Structure 1
Amino acid sequence: MADATSAQESKEQPTLKQPKEALPKNASKKFTWTSPQGETVSYTANAEMVPVRADDGSLMGHMFMFSQVRDDVEDSSDRPVTFLWNGGPGGASYMVNVGGMGARRVKVDTDKHMPNVGVMEDNPYTPLPYSDLVFIDAFGTGFSHVDPNYDGKKVWGVDGDGDAFARGIIAWLALHKRNNSPVYLYGESYGTMRNAVVYRMLGEKGFGVTGVIEQSTILDYEPVMPGNDAYYLGMVPVYAATANYFGKAGVGEDPYAWFNKACEFSNTTLASAIVQGDQISEDDKRSVATEMSELIGLPVDFIMDKGLRIELDTFRKSLLKDEGKTLGRYDTRMVTYAYQDVQGDNEFYAGEDPSYDGINATYLDCYMKMLRDEIGFEGYSNYEPLSLKVNMDWNWTHAAPGTMGPAQVPNVAYDMATALRRNPTSRIMFFGGIHDAATPFWNVKHDMSKLFLPKALKHQIEYHLHSNGHMAYADNEALEAMGPELKAFYEKRHEPVL
């Protein structure tokens, strides 16, 4: 999980310090994973506090890393190791672990609020049969802590965070003697932005990346700025898919065909109209609003009054207003009961999300039970699942390669393109969801299209669209579809490149 609308301005607050408690002792335990078809994999789960150091050897802090490593592999030279994380940027990695990619997961019911007591099972969709897995908590989140003698602000930012993760990965590879194993990066939401930076930085430190997996991607933060045209263009396909799901538009139409139809509308009709602002004629404006209404299920005059620009919170409040319900942001299929007008504060409402509330507590409780009761890792008394402190302190400036200097609003698509040019045998996979309003899939395709990559490099990139919202691991249908796509992606490391 991640919040793609985190505050852009850093606020001066005391630096987070490492707890006074003693450094937790590492713990491990052997397990056997069993697939629904009866396939078994013996593996060791390791919960470790890995020291991360600066160039001069000084301790930056300890990163909590939870790994699942297959036991029956004698030669690891062709055994991939995948490093996984969530976003935030102040989010720990428990969701991508017990949610979707770990060897064990919490059973979910896609668009339903989960009960408070969760059930764990062997995950039929985990990549463990063909890749070892290492889940990393960012500094200041989960159990990862900055050393008291190190300035946390150095790692709470786009570039500092990327550097810290690159160092953490290198430390884990050295500790486990896996320096010659194929390395893959798996990030979700802000974690996809982190992926792009780490992808480049690892190469600059002499460590090649074989594959990068981007789930629910955001590369360019400019569309989250108020009034940005690309924001409105990217949201319309999500609105259309949601209206289709609730029977408010495109009744009987294939949901993916309806989503793609809305993408084409954004690319052509809406793009032409929206850049004109109030210079568009009333007749043309009504024509566009009529077509948009048919796609997203809101009235023509309502869309006209908004200047063809429908904010996400406006859509969330409006589509099911007659039913007294409001939609989720991470997954627009998830609903809750609308707040009364007295609770109409916009900032409060923007942070309310049934698609987060519906899974968070259950995921975290099951994760803590697995770590503490089953593996025996005590950790610290406090696990920080989502640190708003880290979010608020985040330094968003980023020096993209080949640009004139640090930009206040980061665009890491340039990092990704640079890393791919330097490492043309590596591959990139994008996963998106038609009900993800936090990181719309239209914007990913748009950002990558502006790089004008040559055909040979574009051949190394693939895109997959599924039914999910932001957290693909909370959607069984999406996970079932993603499984064989992930496996095929890993196997492509053996294929020749163009």
Structure 2
Amino acid sequence: MKLAKALLLVVLTLSFTAKANNERSIEVDKQYTTKHTTKINGKKVKYTATTGTQPVWDKEGKATASLFYTYYQRSDIDDNAKRPLMISFNGGPGSASVWMHIAYTGPKVLNVDSEGYPLQPYGVKTNPYSILDVADIVFVNPVNTGYSRVLPDKDGKMPSKEKQKEMFFGVNADVKYLAEWISTFVTRNNRWRSPKYLIGESYGTTRVSGLALELQKRQWMYINGVILVSPTDIGIKREGPVKAANRLPYFAAAAWYHQALSDDLQQLSLDDLLSQVESFTVNEYLPALAKGGFISAEEKQVISETVAKYSGLSVEAVLNNNLDINNSFFWKELLRDRKKTIGRLDSRYLGIDKKVAGARPDYNAELTSWLHSFTPAINYYLREELGYKTDLKYNMFGNVHPWDRSKNKTGENLRLAMAQNPYLKVMLQSGYFDGATNYFDAKYTMWQLDPSGQMQERLSFKGYESGHMMYLRREDLKQSNQDIREFIKQSLPSEEQAAKY
């Protein structure tokens, strides 16, 4: 009888263990490291790649979530005290770090053609322009993106949706917990002495702008540089006539790419064309829009003709929109006569709609193309090349909504962080064919970031002949990485240069 009870206990124990082991859950705090060699700009570079998870803790020290990350560290460097550390975020909000990880700054990039279009077999190849030669990089996946997940509470229950929003899913909550996470990561990896940089793409620019000050104020960690890739408004309002006028330079760029402009404009270089359009936008188009319905008929006609000339649209289309053309209409209208639509995030991409009629495209042509490449590549790469194996689904886009966008002062926080830290420099990078976060909006944000003009020399802008993810185009992959490399070098103070005005 005793033997039978003992056997039953063993069976029940094994059954419970099997059930526990079969749960599809995150490893809360685990790391795996592999060794690699690559060539960057023709020179051999040895590095380690650490994939793993690190917890987020509440005030009581209870793990509330675990974030998945990939950390690349050059292994042929003896002392990392002077070795820069780049902390990388993508956007959404709700987007994994996959985009810049395997297409921009990391040691591997997608198997795509020279313009960024998908190729099979899907996968990755060496990135000969990676910034790993000058900086170590950690790619961070915020809660519910990639393999990062919310954890059950002390009673084994998942927090309510409202509680999760309070903890993670909002402009300020996001910045607060990520700053704590970064502090722990820097401590664990002995990087406190290293120069540090934040890079964010799209909504990630809101994130890193807020982090710059949060790290200074709450973690006492000072950053050398912030890179804003295809930036959002970072809390700096662009509304009304400004919002409408700022679209025109992007319209001109997209129309130029598709050869939808007059012969005299098509013969110009893109830089020369945009210089013309930007001048018209600020000096004539914006004041005309500001007059609203009280603009004279004569001025409205003159302005509409110039807007039509630069945008590739008809004068009738401009007038019918009261000079204010929204993006969706432009993406549908520009090539309507060719029965094609153009992409939102990258207007080089073409789409086919069910009907030529209508005011907006049926789908985002560029995003469907990108998901072709990124999804299989990241799943293959993490599992088969970096050895991180899990049954969790890699969330390209995670469930983080509704997102609390209230009290967004991230742009002002970035300005204050710069004012408090004389070392801190900021660079913006934009693709001219990006219709979601257009390049002229980025310039406008840069102009408004420091109204005093006293930090102007610490702000810079770089533009590229591609879209939201400018690095997908091989020529821009090379140039944009080189721009980051030079930005890092220029923002490293000499040993005698003190942090003072």
**In which range does the TM-score fall when normalised by the shorter chain?**
0.7 to 0.9
Residue aligning to 1:248 = 260
Q: Percent identity?
A: 25
Write the deviation string for residues 48-103 of structure 1: whole angstroms up to 9, x where unpaired: 10112233322231111111111011111100110111100000001111011111
Q: After TM superposition, give the deviation of residue 453 of structure 1 in Å.
A: 4.4
What amino acid maps onto 1:187 in structure 2?
G
What amino acid maps onto 2:368 in structure 1?
D
Residue aligning to 1:277 = 292
Secondary structure of 2:73's match? strand
Residue aligning to 1:208 = 222
Residue aligning to 1:443 = 441
The 5 A counterparts of 1:51-200 are: 51-109=55-113, 111=115, 113-149=117-153, 151-153=163-165, 154-200=167-213
Write the deviation string for residues 297-355 of structure 1: whole angstroms up to 9, x where unpaired: 1111210111001111111111111111000000011111123279x696xx47x2111
Q: After TM superposition, give the deviation of residue 411 of structure 1 in Å.
A: 4.7
Q: After TM superposition, give the deviation of residue 448 of structure 1 in Å.
A: 3.0
Alpha-carbon distance in 2 for matches of 1:191, 1:110: 26
The 5 A counterparts of 1:205-354 are: 205-220=219-234, 228-249=240-261, 250-340=265-355, 349=361, 352-354=363-365
Change (3 A) 1:464 1:319: same
Alpha-carbon distance in 2 for matches of 1:315, 1:110: 27
Alpha-carbon distance in 2 for matches of 1:494, 1:379: 42
Secondary structure of 1:358's match? helix
Alpha-carbon distance in 1 for matches of 2:451, 2:316: 41
Q: After TM superposition, give the deviation of residue 294 of structure 1 in Å.
A: 1.2
Q: With the length of structure 1 as denominator, give the TM-score of the two structures.
A: 0.88
CA contact (8 A) 2:24 2:392 kept: no
Change (3 A) 1:222 1:462: closer
Change (3 A) 1:419 1:36: closer
Q: After TM superposition, give the deviation of residue 458 of structure 1 in Å.
A: 1.5
CA contact (8 A) 2:109 2:124 kept: yes
Change (3 A) 1:110 1:313: farther
Alpha-carbon distance in 2 for matches of 1:451, 1:92: 27
In structure 1, stretches of 5+ residues that fail to align are 1-18, 399-409
Residue aligning to 1:494 = 493
Q: After TM superposition, give the deviation of residue 260 of structure 1 in Å.
A: 2.5
Secondary structure of 2:81's match? helix
Residue aligning to 2:377 = 366
Q: Is 1:28 matched up with 2:33?
A: yes
Secondary structure of 2:275's match? helix
Write the deviation string for residues 5-44 of structure 1: whole angstroms up to 9, x where unpaired: xxxxxxxxxxxxxx7525274322101011352x111111
Residue aligning to 1:7 = none
Runs of 4+ in 1 over 6 A off after TM superposition: 222-225
Q: After TM superposition, give the deviation of residue 222 of structure 1 in Å.
A: 7.2
Residue aligning to 2:482 = 484
Change (3 A) 1:453 1:284: closer
Largest Rg, 1 or 2 = 2
CA contact (8 A) 1:186 1:213 kept: yes
Q: After TM superposition, give the deviation of residue 167 of structure 1 in Å.
A: 1.3
Change (3 A) 1:165 1:260: farther
Residue aligning to 1:395 = 404
Secondary structure of 1:470's match? coil
Q: After TM superposition, give the deviation of residue 224 of structure 1 in Å.
A: 7.8
What amino acid maps onto 2:316 in structure 1?
D
* Equivalent of residue 384 in structure 1, options 376, 391, 395: 395
Alpha-carbon distance in 2 for matches of 1:488, 1:159: 31
Alpha-carbon distance in 1 for matches of 2:268, 2:32: 51
Q: With the length of structure 2 as denominator, give the TM-score of the two structures.
A: 0.87
In structure 2, stretches of 5+ residues that fail to align are 1-22, 154-158
CA contact (8 A) 1:108 1:476 kept: no
CA contact (8 A) 2:123 2:376 kept: no
Secondary structure of 2:70's match? strand
- Report the more deviating stretch, 487-496 or 447-456: 447-456
Alpha-carbon distance in 2 for matches of 1:353, 1:246: 17
CA contact (8 A) 2:98 2:374 kept: yes
Secondary structure of 1:438's match? coil
Q: CA RMSD in A?
A: 2.1
